């Protein structure tokens, strides 16, 4: 079973787990993340593995505080969630949209390392992507 977590944004968080073990954690562009998801989908089909993408969906956020720039950023991330949903539907990839309140986000790097055991470098976006798949049994 392959699970991918996506934290959409200008800096997209990407995390991949295989049978519950983290195998990839990074921050990249939306285009690069889509390339990796597409590549993984092809491999999953070839090897008869189940693949599910978990996408943080800012459209499910019911509160936003901050100024105009913050609101524009939230609008951009909401649009990215739409793009990811369309991408998954178009490619026939199973996906689940996750409300930000239903994800354990904004972990500092030490707490993250202690919880997951992942020792590589991570950004906040990558850590949020991991938490979309961490501990999931599908």
Domain assignment of residue 40, yes or no: yes
What is the value of pTM for the model shown? 0.88
Q: Which residues share a beta bridge with 54? A: 5, 96
Positive or negative: CA dihedral 130, 74, 36, 42: positive
CATH number, domain of 62, equals 3.30.420
Domains held by the chain: number:
1
Q: What is the pLDDT of residue 71?
A: 43
The Cα angle at residue 20 between residues 28 and 110, in degrees rounded to 5: 60
Confirm if 124 and 11 have CB atoms less than 8 A apart: no
Within a domain: 128: yes
CB atoms within 10 A of CB 62: 8
Residue 76, pLDDT score: 72
Is residue 67 in a domain?
yes
**Dihedral (CA of 121, 101, 69, 31) sign:** positive
Q: Is residue 36 part of a domain?
A: yes
In a domain, 117, yes or no: yes
In a domain, 25, yes or no: yes
User: Which of 98, 14, 15 has its CA nearest to residue 54?
Assistant: 98
Which is nearest to 13 in space by CA: 116, 87, 93, 124?
Answer: 124
Note whether residue 39 is domain-resident.
Answer: yes
Report yes or no on 138 lying in a domain.
no
- DSSP per-residue codes, 5-18: EEE-SSSEEEEEEE
Q: Per residue of the chain (138 residues), give pLDDT as tens.
A: 999 999 998 899 999 999 999 999 999 999 999 999 999 999 999 999 999 999 999 876 554 455 454 444 455 778 899 999 999 999 999 999 998 887 788 899 999 999 999 999 999 999 999 999 998 864
| pLDDT attached to residue 134 | 94
The H helix count followed by the E strand count for the chain is: 4, 5
- Contact (Cβ atoms closer than 8 angstroms) between residue 53 and residue 94: yes
The whole-number pLDDT of residue 42 equals 97
Q: Which domain holds residue 120?
A: 2-133
């Amino acid at each position: 079973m392959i699970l991918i977590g996506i934290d959409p944004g200008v800096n997209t968080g990407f995390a991949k787990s295989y049978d519950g073990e983290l195998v990839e954690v990074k921050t990249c562009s939306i285009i690069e993340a889509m390339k990796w998801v597409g590549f993984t989908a092809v491999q999953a089909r070839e090897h008869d593995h189940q693949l599910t993408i978990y996408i943080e969906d800012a459209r499910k956020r019911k509160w936003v505080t901050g100024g105009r720039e913050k609101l524009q950023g939230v609008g951009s991330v909401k649009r990215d969630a739409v793009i990811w949903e369309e991408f998954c539907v178009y490619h026939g990839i199973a996906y689940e949209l996750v409300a930000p309140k239903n994800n354990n986000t904004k972990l500092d790097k030490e707490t993250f390392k202690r919880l997951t055991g992942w020792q590589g470098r991570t950004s906040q976006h990558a850590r949020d992507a991991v938490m979309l798949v961490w501990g999931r049994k599908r």
